[in-house]
Amino acid sequence: MQWLICFQAVYEKLSFKLAADQLQLPSSNVSRHVVLLEQQLRVRLLERTTRKIIPTAAGKQLYQSITPLTRALDHALEEVSLFGDSLSGHLKIITPDLPFMADILADFCIRHPQIQLSCDTQLDPTEGLLDGFDLVLRFGRGPLEDSSWVAREILRWPSCVVAAPELLKRYPLPRSPDELANIPCITSMSVLQGTPWRFKQNQTVRVHSSYKVNSGQMARAAALKGLGFAILPLHACESEIDNGSLIKINCNREPEDLVLYALYSGRKYLPVKVKAFLEHLQLSIADLEVRSKEGI
């Protein structure tokens, strides 16, 4: 079994060193296990050069055959671990740097001290970067792009278009989403790369922007300064709307809600550590929402 595990790791990393780091074994041991497997099968699985490793046709076939088996074994072992005192293993997450997320992550690790956590804070990780992570939290508006990952909705924020009174003195009040296309707007560098803006009833508008940011706070500050129209979560600008420093714009269409999604691999067996964290995340957010409504 160790031979197959080492081969699988080298195949995925295309590096004996990276595979050894992942398995927490000496590189010499990993190399020896792969050699012994090749000798046992009497076939070359990996072509080695001084620069790179290339799987052979036999190596590709073996990897495709053993991967469902090793994943099922991982799942079985993780299920059994539930009968112990706590979860264990390495949990790797990408998440936006949200104020409430820090406490949620820390509380999960306190509850499960055998968990090793690696957390990278990013707003819009590229598809290739997702490999190697167990869970990715990211924002979206409207339908998500097709992906091999499963998306679970975690939190939803209704949104609105806002502008400063000073800006409305220089530009006409937009009566429809289409009229936003010809006036300055503040856009995002992450969600949909800022454009098109998505409205409900499947309407999109390609807006013009010379001010792009990847922070809701920065977008709100720019809107308050009159740098452009902005789409903001309603809860993030309610006080400014109430005191008149921002005007809520009625375009006869509401923007699509801002949604925080949890993305995870679409494989048949969801790792127990991921399942446990998702449950912890949703319960924690539900508790925060209750406390917010009660003014606690």
pLDDT tens for each residue of 93-123: 999 888 899 999 999 999 999 999 999 887 6
What's the rounded Cα separation, in Å, for the pair 221 and 237? 10
Q: What is the mean pLDDT of the chain?
A: 86
Task: Quote the pTM value.
Answer: 0.66
Residue 143's Cα: distance from chain center in Å? 15
Question: Residue 295's pLDDT band (boundaries 50, 70, 90)?
Answer: low
Residue 110: per-residue pLDDT: 94
What's the rounded Cα separation, in Å, for the pair 158 and 255? 8
What's the rounded Cα separation, in Å, for the pair 105 and 101? 6
> Cβ distance 3 to 37 under 8 Å?
yes
